[in-house]
Structure 1
Amino acid sequence: MTLSPSRYQLPDSLFYQNRLSQAGDWHYVLSDRFRELLLRPYKGRELPVLPAAQPDALLEGQALAQHFAQLQYLAAPLLQADDLEALLARVQALASRSVDGAIASIMLGSWQDYTAQHAINAALLACLLGQALQLPPDEQHSLALAALCMNLGAAALHNELSQHDGPLSTAQRKQIQIHPLVSSALLRELGYQQALLHQCLLGHHEHPDGSGYPFHLNKDDISPLALLLRMIDISTAKLMPRSYRQAVPAQRALAQLYTQQSDEQFDPVHTAQLVKLLGVYPSGSFVRLASGDTAMVVAQGEQLNRPQLVLLRDMEQRLDAEQHEISSQLTVQVETRHLQRLGQLWPLA
């Protein structure tokens, strides 16, 4: 698909013009003053050391989220592309080594920094979908990196909004609308020049009917990779709790994607693959059995509604899904102290 760069012109607004300039096709540069204002609160921070690999998927996902919670507020020259690539390699390794473990990490992540956990979860889901859809390697890399970095331009604000249930202020709305451009500009500073990556970043909040932002593009002007990232972003947000609501159960979240499909215009191949990956009961889900016992889903089975299970009171033995009927999915808030015990279900060694 060939996109027209003429549709990606910097919006003619003083709010945008005072903060960014355009240096070429899909290429935006932060103004010196705006860059100073953006990064001033984080001056003096040191580059964090990437933590050692963890023994299971839950602890690994948690360690990577905690690392990105520090990394996301840094910029060049302190932050380098190699720092992001090292983190992304760990995310990709987790997704490759344990599909069920990666999904459980998304479902069970106990977050202190919403933006960082969302980034790791979205990057994991991007890796899983990229593999499942057999995207070319350059598209898989661009999609995963864009998922990890799509909110760099407003990391603190996204954390603020995770605690906020209500309409945005005018200032918040303007910052949200500009953040795809800012995230793209920050990655340019790190040396990322691939048009595919920036088309994905810049378009991940565009809507096929033209109601998205920041360019109000129509479907033919939006990168298919950006539309896939939009689906990943929405799905990840639904599956994560906020301070004012619990996580949306996977069944309902997937149903909402389908009911919205005529409006969102997600690729049906993408939504079908997402359903296949997560299943009716994703790994890491808690369920009530017809017997009254509480169980956890540890892996998908041959049938979407027949996953592999363990009883919470006896996690040593996996149950025969054909002999244990699931009556309902449960929403359980998992605390950080529980992750080590639960993580043994998805070892990485």
Structure 2
Amino acid sequence: MTIDPTHYRLPDSLFVQNRLLQHGDWHFALSDKFRQRLYAPHQGKPLPPVPARQPNALQEVQALAAYFGQLLYLPPPRLQGEDIDALLARLQALLRHAPDGAIAAIMLCPWQDYTAQHGINAALLAGLLGPALQLPPDEQHSLTLAALCMNLGSATLHNELARHEGPLSTSQRKRLEIHPLVSSALLRELGFDSPLLHPCVLGHHERFDGNGYPFHLRQEQTSPLAQLLRVIDISTAKLMPRSYRQPVPAQRALAQLYTQGGEQFEPRYTTQLVKLLGVYPSGSFVRLASGDSAMVVAQGEQLNQPQLAPLRALEQRLAADGSTIASQLSVQVEARHLHKLGPLWPLPA
């Protein structure tokens, strides 16, 4: 699918013109004054050490989210593309060894820095969906990088919004509407210039009906990767808590996305997402017909037949069938609980 780059023109409002420049197709850059303002609160912060590898998927995701939460606020060239590449390599290793653990981490790990946790979770989901959809390797890489860094230029804003209930202020709305442009510009500063990557980042908030932002494009004017990234972004946000609400239960979140397929999302993307997560995603809690509670550890051959671990004996495994699970449970997990649940998804030493 060929996307016409002439649709991606810098909006002409003074707010945008004072912050961003356009140098060519898909190529946006920060103005010097805006760049200085963006990083002024974070001057002098050093590059953090890479965290040690952790023994299980939950602890690995926690460690990498904390690390990414420090990288987010470093300006290029203090932050370099190789730092992002190394983080992506760690996430890919986790996905190879514990794909169910990656889904469980999305479901379970509480956030300290919302933007960082959202980026890690979205990259994990992208790393699972890309192969499931049989995307070519270059598209898989661009999608995962875009998922990790789509909010690179708005870390502070997204952390504000994770704690904000109610209408956005004028300033928040304007900053939100330009963040795809800012993130794309910063990815270029880091040395990422793939022609697949930037239309994906720039278009991930466009809607099929043209009511998205920042360009107000319709379905045929946005890249398929951007449309897929929008599904990943929205589903990740639904599955994560905010300070003012609990996460949307997985079954409800998936049902909302699935029923909007065709109208707001490409149906094959939402269908594959449902297949990937299952009716009971890894890391979710269920009540058994026996009255006991259990944790979903892995997906089975059928969407509604996952592998379970009873909470009273996590070392045991149950293969669910149609009569095993009575209902899904909503359980709030705190960081202090993860050391007990983490060994369900071990990683190699």
Which region of structure 1 is more displaced relative to structure 2, 218-227 or 315-324? 315-324
Cα deviation digits, residues 267-302 of structure 1 (max 9, x gap) = 222111111110000000011111111100000111
Correspondence for 2:326: 327
Name the residue aligned to 1:293: 292
Q: Distance in 1 between matches of 2:252 and 2:319?
A: 25
How big is the shift at 1:79? Answer: 0.5
Q: Deviations over 1:72-116 (max 9, x none)?
A: 111211000000000011111111211111100100112111111
2:5 maps to a residue whose letter is P
TM-aligned CA deviation for residue 52 of structure 1: 1.2
Report the CA distance between 1:324 and its aligned residue: 5.8
Could you say what secondary structure the match of 1:110 adopts?
coil
CA distance, structure 1, for counterparts of residue 321 and residue 178 of structure 2 = 50
Kept in 2: contact 1:72–1:152 (CA 8 A) = yes
What secondary structure, in the 3-state scheme, does the structure 2 residue paired with 1:66 have?
helix
Q: Look up the match of 1:203.
A: 203
Whole-angstrom CA distance in 2 between matches of 1:340 and 1:323: 31
Deviation of 1:323 after TM superposition, in Å, equals 8.1
Q: SS at 2:70's partner residue?
A: helix
1:230 deviation in Å? 0.1
Per-residue CA deviations over 1:177-222 (Å, capped at 9, x if unaligned) read 0000000000111111112100000000001111110000111110
The residue type equivalent to 1:279 in the other structure is: G
Q: What pairs up with 1:160-175 in 2 under 5 angstroms? A: 160-175=160-175
2:258/2:271 contact within 8 Å kept: no
Q: Which moved more, 1:222-231 or 1:149-158?
A: 149-158
Contact 1:62/1:109 (8 A) holds in 2: yes
Question: Structure 1, unaligned stretches of length 5 or more?
Answer: none
What residue in structure 2 maps to residue 106 of structure 1? Answer: 106
Partner SS, residue 135 of structure 1: coil
Question: What residue is the counterpart of 2:246 in the other structure?
Answer: 246
Whole-Å separation in 2 of the counterparts to 1:89 and 1:248: 29
Residues in 1 aligned to 2:194 and 2:318: alpha-carbon distance in whole angstroms:
47
Identify the residue that residue 81 of structure 1 maps to in structure 2: 81
Q: Report if aligned partners of 2:57, 2:102 keep a CA contact under 8 Å in 1.
A: yes
* 1:50 matched residue in structure 2: 50
- The two structures, once aligned, show a CA RMSD in angstroms of 1.0
Aligned to 1:297, the other structure's residue is in SS state: strand
Distance in 2 (alpha carbons) for counterparts of 1:17 and 1:51 = 39
Q: Could you tell me which residue of structure 2 aligns to residue 220 of structure 1?
A: 220
Pair 276,323 (structure 1): closer, same or farther in 2 beyond 3 Å: closer
How many Å apart are 1:66 and its aligned residue?
A: 0.5
Q: Distance in 1 between matches of 2:37 and 2:115?
A: 20
SS in 2 for 1:21: strand
- The TM-score normalised by the length of structure 2 is 0.98
Q: Give the secondary-structure state (helix, strand or coil) at the position aligned to 1:167.
A: coil
Cα distance in structure 2, aligned partners of 1:166 and 1:322: 42
> Structure 1 residue 154: deviation in Å?
0.9
Aligned to 2:159: 159
Name the CA shift for 1:22/1:333 in 2 (closer, same or farther; >3 Å). same
For residues 45 and 185 of structure 2, what CA distance do their matches in structure 1 show? 21
1:97 aligns with 2:94: no
Query: What is the CA–CA distance in structure 2 between the aligned matches of 1:320 and 1:9, rounded to whole Å?
Result: 54
Does the aligned pair in 2 maintain the 1:247–1:331 contact within 8 Å?
no
Which consecutive unaligned segments of at least 5 residues does structure 2 have? none
Deviations 1:118-176 (A, max 9, x none): 00000000000011112111101100000000011111111111111100000000000
Report what 1:5 is aligned to. Answer: 5
| 1:318 counterpart letter in structure 2 | R
C-alpha separation in 1, matches of 2:74 and 2:83: 11
| Whole-angstrom CA distance in 2 between matches of 1:162 and 1:51 | 26
In the TM superposition, residue 34 of structure 1 has moved relative to its aligned partner by 0.4
Indicate whether 1:126 and 2:148 are aligned: no
Query: Which residue of 1 is the match for residue 342 of structure 2?
Result: 343
Taking a change above 3 Å as real, the CA distance of residues 317 and 323 of structure 1, as seen in their structure-2 partners, is farther
Q: Percent identity?
A: 71
